[in-house]
Amino acid sequence: MRAIERTILETPVGGSQSSRAINASATATATLAIPLDGLTITAPQPEMLSQKNVESVTGIPARVFLDTIRAPGFPLPVTKLGKLRLVQREAFIAYLQALASDPAPRRATAEDERTGVAAVLAAVGLEPVRQPRAGRASGPSDGARRGRLSPK
């Protein structure tokens, strides 16, 4: 394709017969004022999550992130740079979604823990005592007992 430059002959409004040539490919320059609250600048998401940026990307506090990646059985590779811990963003989000969609293993783990505690108590001659849960975290009252001796 070849660029075509047109010349337009313009007759002034006053009726004068002098003509001037205007180049149709000429450009105009203007200054535009935009208020700062009218601009939205978005940066691309980081490829790696660390304790420094995890809250802004996922909403998870840094302490929860660190506890999660340090937990035994965490399936994703963790890159260590000094005190900084890095995990791939997409893989971490997929891991969180998998946890949210399958809460059954957590319940099974809690049941296994209760069964294990009952076995340890039984081995030393004690049995677990169920107590109603308090509305808030507090220490045991003076008369509260954790277990009792089983009658022989």
pLDDT digits (tens, 9 = 90+) for 40-91: 888 888 899 999 999 998 899 999 999 999 998 899 999 999 999 999 999 9
Give yes or no for residue 24 having a pLDDT over 90: no
Whether 58 contacts 90, CB under 8 Å: no
Q: How confident is the model at residue 136 (pLDDT cuts 50, 70, 90)?
A: low
The structure tokens 């963790």 sit at: 78
Average pLDDT of the residues in 120-131 = 76
Average pLDDT of the residues in 13-41 = 72
Look at residue 91 in the predicted model and tell me its pLDDT. 93
* Average predicted confidence (pLDDT) for the chain: 76
Average pLDDT of the residues in 5-25 = 58
Higher pLDDT, 62 or 17: 62
Look at residue 104 in the predicted model and tell me its pLDDT. 60
From residue 15, how far is each of 10, 20, 31, 80 by CA, in Å?
11, 13, 33, 80
Q: How confident is the model at residue 30 (pLDDT cuts 50, 70, 90)?
A: confident
Rounded to whole angstroms, the Cα distance separating 66 from 108 reads 24
